[in-house]
Amino acid sequence: MLAQEIIRAKRDGHTLSEPQIQHFVRGLVDGSWSEGQVAALGMAVFLRGMGRDEAVALTRAMMHSGRVLAWPDMPGPVLDKHSSGGVGDKVSLMLAPMVAACGGYVPMIAGRGLGHTGGTVDKLEAIPGYNTMPAPADFDRLVRRLGCAVIGQTGDLAPADKRFYACRDVTATVESVPLITASILSKKLAAGLQVLAMDIKCGNGAFADTPAFAQELAESIVSVAGGAGLKTRALITDMNQVLGYEVGNALEIHETLDYLTGKRVEPRLHEVTLALAAEMLVLGGLAADNGAARAKLQAGLDSGAAAEKFAQMVAALGGPADLLERPQQYLTPAPVVLPVPAPRDGVLSAMKTREIGLIIVEMGGGRRQAGDAIDFRVGLSEVRHLGSSFKAGETMALVHAADEASAARAVAAYQAACTLGEAYVPTPIVMATVG
């Protein structure tokens, strides 16, 4: 079987067979497909698309390109959640211990920041000592003992996807629905899941920037996951503004702790977290319906059980045992904190959310290149949301920066990213459910 003939078939709009797809995936792993051939097939799929059966075959082949986890004799359902990425999205950090407190088992293999979006693994590494790359046997043991562990992706899970994505990233073929679908699901299937809740972010701070694209992606993921034997439901959620009060790695850990302990709960963040976690409990057979699931999750928060799960997970993975009680001792603050003053009177009617995410990157809280070190201290706090009214000079957010110059640039950029108008019509945080 020749690589160029497989490329030709897709270029001409034909359906690829399972053997052809398996040949391609083997070539990704063993190097028998060159970078040019991988790029050519990626572009052919980008332009010609893939049917459901092709996407299922690609997902399965990439899933089996490396180690596949199994959870035999688990006393409860193995559940997970994945987000397509947003600004201020720390839902995974809250959801995993909440679901564990309700009897689920969450082996969450999370990612790092990508472009303007923050990464769960980067946020956890703001906690001193937290090991995001434990040995496989330790990961297995922790999930079984605690009910949840959130770690980084290892190189032996779906290695074909890692090479294919790196090629797509530099050849303008990332925004292909079947390829995004296969990339996400191959890693989740390799983690041995029984249930997946997908959070498809939609808006100016998301990769899916239109409702039509978000709907197409959600339907593709639910359909292909079903074809691969994974029970999945997708929620399309609003990302036209920052999620929560804090943005930036250490600051989002602070907000996570405040949320889990009930000290401060931002309503939109709470609704997204509850909605996704409830889908996991219902699909996993831990609750009869959405209402019962929400009540169970809220009880886990109110009792302190979810916060205790998070604290146990942090300690078990090398972090401080008293993070919950003394976060200020471990989460180093930025040396410069400046308010962002409202330039005039008005109602916050729009937010360029992607630009706000890039402010964090510019301050050093994200990566320009893959190997860049991250300044965990920098970010934004006290973020006011759409619909907030301001008088000129009133604080719209606080900038946390490494020095005065970068703080001043961030203040100006934040002001430029916000529109003060006459009014704001609110939109629901959960825009649609698929599956």
Paired strand residues for 109: 151
CA-to-CA dists, residue 55 to 16, 52, 176, angstroms:
10, 5, 11
Identify the H or E element spanning 236.
strand 231-238
State both tokens at 35: 């970078």
Question: What residues have CB less than 8 Å from 309, skipping those under 6 apart?
Answer: 96, 97, 98, 100, 101, 146, 147, 148
> Rounded distance, CA 380 to CA 76, Å?
38
Cα 97 to its chain centre, rounded Å, is 16
State both tokens at 176: 């292909």
Residue given tokens 């190189």 in the structure block: 155
**Residue 142, helix vs strand vs coil:** helix
Q: How many CB atoms lie within 10 A of CB 199?
A: 26
Orientation angle between helical segments 267-283 and 91-101, nearest 10 degrees: 40
> Rounded distance, CA 326 to CA 99, Å?
24
Burial 237-268 (b: 16+ CB within 10 A, else e): bbbbbbbbbbbbbbbbbbbbbbbbbeeebbeb
Question: What residues have CB less than 8 Å from 77, skipping those under 6 apart?
Answer: 104, 105, 194, 195, 284, 285, 286
* Catalytic residue numbers, as ranges: 80-83, 120, 168, 183, 187-188
Phi-psi region of 363 (alpha: psi -120 to 50; beta: other; left: phi over 0): alpha
Instruction: Phi first, then psi: give them for residue 232, nearest 5 degrees.
Output: -140, 140
Residue type (1 letter), 102: C
> Rounded distance, CA 313 to CA 302, Å?
19
